[in-house]
A and B are shown apart, each in its own frame.
Chain A
Amino acid sequence: MSPTLRSHTPQRLLAAAAISMLAFCGTAQAATLDQIRQSGTVRIAVANEIPYGYMDLKGQARGAGPDVAAQIMKDLGVKKIEWVTTSFDALIPGLQADRYDMVAAEMAILPQRCQQVLFSEPNSSYGEGLLVPKGNPKHLTSYESLAKANDKVAIMAGADQLEMMHALGVPDSSIVTISNNADAISAVTTGRADAYAATGLTVAQLASKNGKVESAKPFTDPVIQGTPARSWGGFAFSKNSSDLRDAVNTELAKFKKTPGWSRIMIGYGFTDNDGRQSMAKTTEQLCSK
């Protein structure tokens, strides 16, 4: 290096910088199942969404997705899991950029997402909910009621509630986008939005954290194109990780038959009906809907 440094020419400095930059890039490609088994490490992403997948204060991954994923990886003989937290709307781009091998955020299996990533069979099923200020001053009881009045509704960036709102005819001008669930309470209590639309479990969890908000009751599930909206969440993988997806599917099917799985799901607030519903549809059906 010393001749390069002594000559002091910016060209050489830039060239050295460029070379060291290339040297820092690894040579690994999208990890296959064999590679993951060999290295014993898998990288799994969660979005900060309680109770689907989140990090607690100690930096430990928790939630329905991570807990089940951890069990599956144990069954597959993968010893170490590197947890990655990102925002919800960065989950799919991160998979495509090979930042992690798998997403355990109970992301809803939807046709347009199926075009971008691979999904496992459903792990969970969940309905919708609405977070409103205490006392529900606008008497909101469904997503449809938002379409009728000109009320503002908050939605998390990248979440499928946006498509539901569009299908129900809620104009874009009434939709406030927030970047994560932590902003929901402040958006609703400060009046930046009249309600926050999210899954029932998220809403219940947020309502329990703050006395100034509650979950809208009675809540009628939105009916979209003739069927009540219900989501099926699964693990997501990059398009070229089908062998990993297949292996996870096999273990997931086995694990879902055990009481251990029910314990995890009920522990995070899923109901027995949610559990039964999660078996009712296949990913193939959900992708071609």
Chain B
Amino acid sequence: MDWLSYSEPLLEGAWITAQIAVMSTLVGAVASFALGMGRLARNRALSMFCIAVIELFRGTSLLVQLFWLYFALPVFGQILGLDLRLPPVMAGVLALGLNIGAYGAEVVRGAIQAVPRSQHEAAKALDFTPRQIMWRIALPQAIPEMMPSFSNLAVQNLKDTALVSLIGLGDMAFRAEQIRNFTQDSTTVYTLLLFMYFGMALVLMALMKTMERAVGRWRATARI
């Protein structure tokens, strides 16, 4: 069977896809909290900066961001006399991570703001500092609320990794293009590709579900 000979290059690509998906999801998670909480900061300059970054990455095409980091930034660096050639993996992870982080930041902000005002007031009355209120009162309640949206974003991010094939990274989509170019067998190659992304997404969804349970454990008794 033909498709057996495709599986080896495709699996090599799947490994790259998995690595990029994990790394960019981690970058995205850090960016989500940094930008989302930065946006709520009382320091006006900081919150404006975070808003600007969020809107920039949400409001421009991910593909263009990738191309910009990969093709335009090095030329920009040459003009400034700097070496700004990010390795392809770096450019891919950064663009994917910051893009998904910008969406995630709004999830973080929304969940934190959804913690009832009265809780803040009660904490203040008990002489909690603003930092303690954030870390001890608001976030533990907000994080479980963020998880369903984060699961969505993580799966979205996995599928977006296909775009890195366009900057020459040997991920699953890239390998598929290569096989297709070599064999002209579009139907088999793309069908296999669909199933492979679906399989990876299933694993990711299961992982996120486990994490969702873990961060929501403290309120399990309250719910019964």
Contacts and interface: CB of A to CB of B under 8 A. Distances in A.
A26 B182 contact: no
Contact of A97 (B85, B131, B181): B85
Given A85-B178, A182-B186, A10 B38 contact: yes
A90 to B, nearest CB: 7
A96 B75 contact: yes
Contact of B168 (A50, A58, A86): A86
A11 B46 contact: yes
A25 B30 contact: no
Given A57-B182, A185-B184, A84 B85 contact: no
A289 to B, nearest CB: 27
A26 B82 CA distance: 10
Contacts of A182: 177, 180-181, 184, 186
Interface residues of A, number: 40
B204 interface: no
Contact of B37 (A10, A99, A180, A185): A10
Contacts of B12: 59
Given A87-B166, A98-B85, A54 B177 contact: no
A90 B34 CA distance: 34
Main secondary structure on chain B at its contact with chain A? helix
Interface in B7-63: 8-9, 12, 30-31, 33-35, 37-38, 41, 46, 50
Contacts of B84: 25
Chain B interface residue number, banded: 35 or more
A29 B184 contact: no
A253 interface: no
B181 A50 contact: yes
Interface string A232-248: 00000000000000000
B181 A54 contact: yes
Given A10-B34, A86-B168, A185-B184, A29 B83 contact: yes
A56 interface: yes
A97 B75 contact: yes
A96 B72 CA distance: 9
B90 interface: yes
A81 to B, nearest CB: 15
Interface string B178-214: 1111111010000000000000000000000000000
B209 to A, nearest CB: 28
B5 interface: yes
A24 B94 CA distance: 12
B177 A10 contact: no
Interface of A: 8, 10-11, 13-14, 17, 21, 24-29, 48, 50, 54-59, 84-87, 90, 93-94, 96-99, 180-182, 185-186, 206, 209-210
Task: In the A-B complex, list the 8 residue pairs whose CB atoms are closest, starting with the nearest.
Answer: A10-B38, A97-B74, A48-B181, A182-B181, A209-B184, A10-B34, A182-B180, A93-B71
Given A87-B166, A90-B166, A181-B181, 12 more contacts: A11-B46, A13-B30, A14-B34, A17-B31, A24-B87, A25-B83, A26-B83, A54-B182, A57-B8, A59-B170, A97-B85, A99-B74
